[in-house]
Amino acid sequence: MVIVIGGGASGLGLAWDLLLRSIPVMVVEMGDIGSGTSGRFHGLLHSGGRYVVSDVQAARECWEENRILKRVAGAAIKATGGYFLSVDDEGDAYVQDWVKGAEAIGLPVKEVAVGQIRETVENLGPWVRRGFSVPDGVLEGFTLLHLLRLNIENLGGEILTHTTVTDIRHENGRVVGVEVMDKDGPRVIACDAVVNAAGPYAGEVARLFHDGIAMQLSRGTMLIFANRRVPYVINRLAPPGDGDIIVPHGETAILGTTDVLQEDPGSTRATREEAQYLMQLGQRLFADMDRWRVLRAFTGVRPLYQDGQEIRDSRYISRDFTVIDHGQRRGLVGAFSLVGGKWTTYRLMAEHMADAVAAYLKVKRSSRTAEVPLQTAVEMDLRPGPTICECERVSLGQLARWPCASLTEWRTRSWFAMGPCQGTMCGHRGALLAMAVQTPSTALRELSQLRHERERGWWPTTWGDNARQWALGQALRHQTLAEEAWSDE
C-alpha cells in the first residue's frame, strides 16, 4: 500500500491515479480536505496565457491540461473563456512577444475590439487599449476535491482527515510505515511506499525522509467581491505582476494576487494593507472597483520549488513541478516528494509521480486519468427543507446529503457561511444540526473555529457596506445570540 501525505490537489490527484492502476492507497491529511493551498487559490483554470513569455514549459502543460480537465472533470470546471487586456502603460513590444509565445505553444488567441469587450464587461477602465480572447476557465477547487474524494473512496481508497504524519518507520533504509497522530493518539500504519504531497509543508515532511528539500514558499493574497462582476476571466496583458487577474466564481468574483516570499508554511492571515493594495491595483482594470462590495480577503502559500538557486523575486520561480525519488538521492528508499506546479496541472503532476511509484513497486500499468472521467455523486431525492444559509441559499436537505465530519467540511461542500454575512446566523444553525451527531462541546468548538476563520478574512476588508455588515454581525452574535467574545490570544 502507498501512503500519500496531504489531502490537497496533488495528494488526491495522485491517489486517484494510483487506484486506477490498482495500487492500494491511503491519504493522510492533517486538517480537512482542501485546508491547504488547494482551498486558498484564485480559481483560474489556466490556458497557459499567463506564462507564454516567462515560463514556456508551464504554459504548455497548462494548455494541455486545460483541455483534459474540461473532459474528465467537467463538473468542477466552467469553460467561461477569458481576455488578456493591455492598458496604456504596457509597451507594444510585450504584446508582440506574448502573441508570438501563444502561437508557439498552439494557444488559440484572437484580438477582439475593446468596444466589443466593453459590451459584455461593465465599467472596464478607460485605459484599456487592446484585448485578446483566450480559453481560460474557472476551476472550482472544493468541488473538484470532493469529486476526487468520492471517486477515490468508490475505488476502495481510504482518506484519513485530522490525522498528522509525524514520522516515518524504516528498516535497512527502506520505508515500512508511517507514524500518525489523531484525536485518539499515536499509531503506526504499515506501507510499501510513502509520497510527500504536503504542499507548503513538503520541506518539513522531506526531513522525515532524511533528505531535506529547499522549498521556495510564496504568499499570495486575494479579495472576494460579493457579486460576479465579470462573465469571464480578465487578465492584464503584462509580465506577471500583482492584482492583475479577476476570476468569476459562482456568484462572486476573486481579484488577485500578491506574490511575496515567506518562510512559514502556515502563515495565511491576510492583512488590511494587502487588501487595500489589491483594491488600488484592480482599479487599473476597473475604474469603479472602489465601489464594489467586497466580502473578505484570504491568503494561500504557493509550494514552489527551485532547488539550489538563490531567489529574490518569487514571480520568476517556475510554476513547473518536480518529482523527487529520495531513495535515488540521499534519503529513504520508497520515499517520494511531489512539489511545485499549479492546480491546473495537478493531474499531470500526479501522473508523473504515479509513474515513479509504480516503477518502484514494479507495477507495469500506466496512467488512465486523462481518459477516465470523474463520476459525480448520484443526486439524492431529498426535499430541500428549511433554509439554513440565506446568503447562499443552502437548505437543510442539501446539508443532510453529507454526514457532518466538521462544520468546515459542510461549508466547503455546500458553500454555507460563505456569503455576505459570513455565517452570522447560519453558523449557529449549522452547529445546532451538528449536535445531532457530535457532542455539544465539539459542535461549539467547531462553531468557534468557523467564527475565527471567517473573521480572519473579513476584518481586513471592513470598509463601506462590509463594515456595516460586520457591525451588525457583531451585535447579533454578542447581544441577540449571546455568544462569548472571541479572542485571538
Ligand X SMILES: Cc1cc2nc3c(=O)[nH]c(=O)nc-3n(C[C@H](O)[C@H](O)[C@H](O)COP(=O)(O)OP(=O)(O)OC[C@H]3O[C@@H](n4cnc5c(N)ncnc54)[C@H](O)[C@@H]3O)c2cc1C
Q: Which stretch binds ligand X (CB under 6 A): 195-203, 230-238, 427-435, 464-472?
A: 195-203
144 binds ligand X (CB under 6 A): no
Query: Which of 3, 18, 26, 28 is in the footprint of ligand X by CB under 6 A?
Result: 28
471 backbone φψ class: left, alpha, beta (φ>0; ψ -120 to 50)? alpha
Kindly state the cell numbers that stand for 327: 531513495
Residue 20 CB contacts under 8 Å (≥ 6 apart), including other chains: 155, 367, 368, 369, 372
30 binds ligand X (CB under 6 A): yes
DSSP 8-state class, residue 92: H
Half-sphere exposure (Cβ direction) of 356: Cα atoms closer than 13 Å: 22
Q: Which stretch binds ligand X (CB under 6 A): 36-44, 73-81, 107-115, 283-291?
A: 36-44
Residue 398 CB contacts under 8 Å (≥ 6 apart), including other chains: 382, 384, 388, 414
Q: Which stretch binds ligand X (CB under 6 A): 194-202, 235-243, 305-313, 371-379?
A: 194-202
Binding mask 325-364 for ligand X (x = CB under 6 A): ----------------xxxx--------------------
CA nearest neighbour of 230 among 49, 80, 47: 80
Q: Which residue has the cell 446539508?
A: 399
In whole angstroms, what is the distance from residue 132 CA to residue 85 CA?
Answer: 7
Site for ligand X in 271-310 (CB under 6 A): 300-303
Query: Which of 54, 80, 123, 164 is in the footprint of ligand X by CB under 6 A?
Result: 164
In whole angstroms, what is the distance from residue 18 CA to residue 367 CA?
Answer: 8
Q: Which stretch binds ligand X (CB under 6 A): 34-42, 99-107, 267-275, 463-471?
A: 34-42
Considering the complex, what minimum distance in angstroms separates the CB of residue 295 from ligand X?
A: 16
460 binds ligand X (CB under 6 A): no
- The residue among 152 and 388 lying less far from ligand X, judged by its C-beta, is 152
- The residue among 151 and 257 lying less far from ligand X, judged by its C-beta, is 257
Considering the complex, what minimum distance in angstroms separates the CB of residue 479 from ligand X?
A: 36
Total residues belonging to the chain: 489
In whole angstroms, what is the distance from residue 134 CA to residue 85 CA?
Answer: 11
- The residue among 60 and 429 lying less far from ligand X, judged by its C-beta, is 60
464 backbone φψ class: left, alpha, beta (φ>0; ψ -120 to 50)? left
Site for ligand X in 100-139 (CB under 6 A): none
- The residue among 5 and 417 lying less far from ligand X, judged by its C-beta, is 5
In whole angstroms, what is the distance from residue 384 CA to residue 396 CA?
Answer: 6
In whole angstroms, what is the distance from residue 278 CA to residue 71 CA?
Answer: 34
255 binds ligand X (CB under 6 A): no
243 binds ligand X (CB under 6 A): no
Considering the complex, what minimum distance in angstroms separates the CB of residue 401 from ligand X?
A: 23
Helices (H), 284-388: 346-360
Considering CB under 6 A, how many residues would be counted as binding ligand X?
Answer: 40
48 binds ligand X (CB under 6 A): no
Binding mask 206-235 for ligand X (x = CB under 6 A): --------------x-x-------------
203 binds ligand X (CB under 6 A): no
SS3 17: helix
SS3 sequence, 150-165?
HHHHHCCCEEECCCEE
Q: Which residues bind ligand X (CB under 6 A)?
A: 5-11, 28-31, 35-38, 41-44, 46, 164-165, 197-201, 205, 220, 222, 256-257, 300-303, 341-344
